[in-house]
């Protein structure tokens, strides 16, 4: 049986790889402490045997929800290949070193935006956001933009991964991998 993480990596490559926004865009669903769900598109910024990595403000709505309820589901959909992958599992913050390394790889403007935006909070006007951006651009002029302590990465450690391959006549192929300790069990599901 193939390791589902390796299969997911292959499907990502088939869809265009890490350099393709269409390949790495995923719908991330979280829920708050009351179980109220929310979903949004984020970018998959890493995949290995530990799981899926994404980055955001810890103070954003998703960050607050993950602090209350550290479980999430993600869906990657590649319509041109008639494929999707669903991932469910526990989420934990990545270490500071890993968050720092990713943050430093981002374009300067993206790093300044992390300082400028209080993600998910109300905004009086777009001009206020532009003023904040200009302020931090001047503040960090001529130097590296450090990672704000309120921004970093998360790891979604899969407990379930389902692969869906579209087939003619809606006879789709579905394979559900469920983790038990360090082992995966695969079950075929009806379309």
**Structural contact between residues 160 and 89, judged by C-beta atoms closer than 8 angstroms:** yes
> Does residue 170 carry a catalytic annotation?
yes
Cβ neighbours for 169, distance < 8 A, ≥ 6 positions apart: none
Of 64, 111, 170, 174, catalytic: 170
Rounded to an integer, what is the distance from CA 149 to the centroid of its chain?
A: 19
Query: Residue 44 and residue 61: Cα distance in Å, rounded?
Result: 18
How long, in residues, is the chain? 191
**Structural contact between residues 91 and 69, judged by C-beta atoms closer than 8 angstroms:** no
Query: Residue 84 and residue 56: Cα distance in Å, rounded?
Result: 23
Please identify every residue annotated as catalytic: 170
């Amino acid at each position: 049986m193939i390791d589902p993480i390796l299969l997911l990596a292959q499907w990502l490559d088939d869809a265009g790889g890490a350099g393709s926004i269409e390949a790495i865009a995923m719908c991330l669903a979280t829920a708050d402490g009351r179980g109220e769900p929310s979903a949004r598109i984020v970018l998959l910024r890493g995949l290995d045997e530990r799981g899926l990595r994404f980055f955001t403000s810890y103070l954003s709505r998703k960050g607050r929800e993950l602090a209350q309820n550290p479980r999430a589901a993600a869906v990657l959909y590649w319509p041109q290949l008639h494929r999707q992958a669903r991932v469910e599992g526990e989420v934990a913050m990545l270490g500071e070193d890993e968050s720092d390394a990713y943050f430093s790889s981002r374009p300067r403007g993206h790093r300044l935006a992390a300082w400028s935006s209080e993600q998910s909070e109300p905004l009086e006007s777009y001009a206020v956001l532009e003023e904040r951006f200009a302020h931090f651009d001047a503040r960090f002029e001529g130097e590296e933009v450090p990672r704000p302590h309120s921004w970093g990465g998360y790891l979604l450690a899969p407990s379930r991964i389902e692969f869906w391959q579209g087939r003619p006549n809606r006879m789709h192929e579905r394979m559900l991998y469920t983790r038990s300790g360090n082992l995966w069990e695969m079950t075929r599901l009806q379309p």
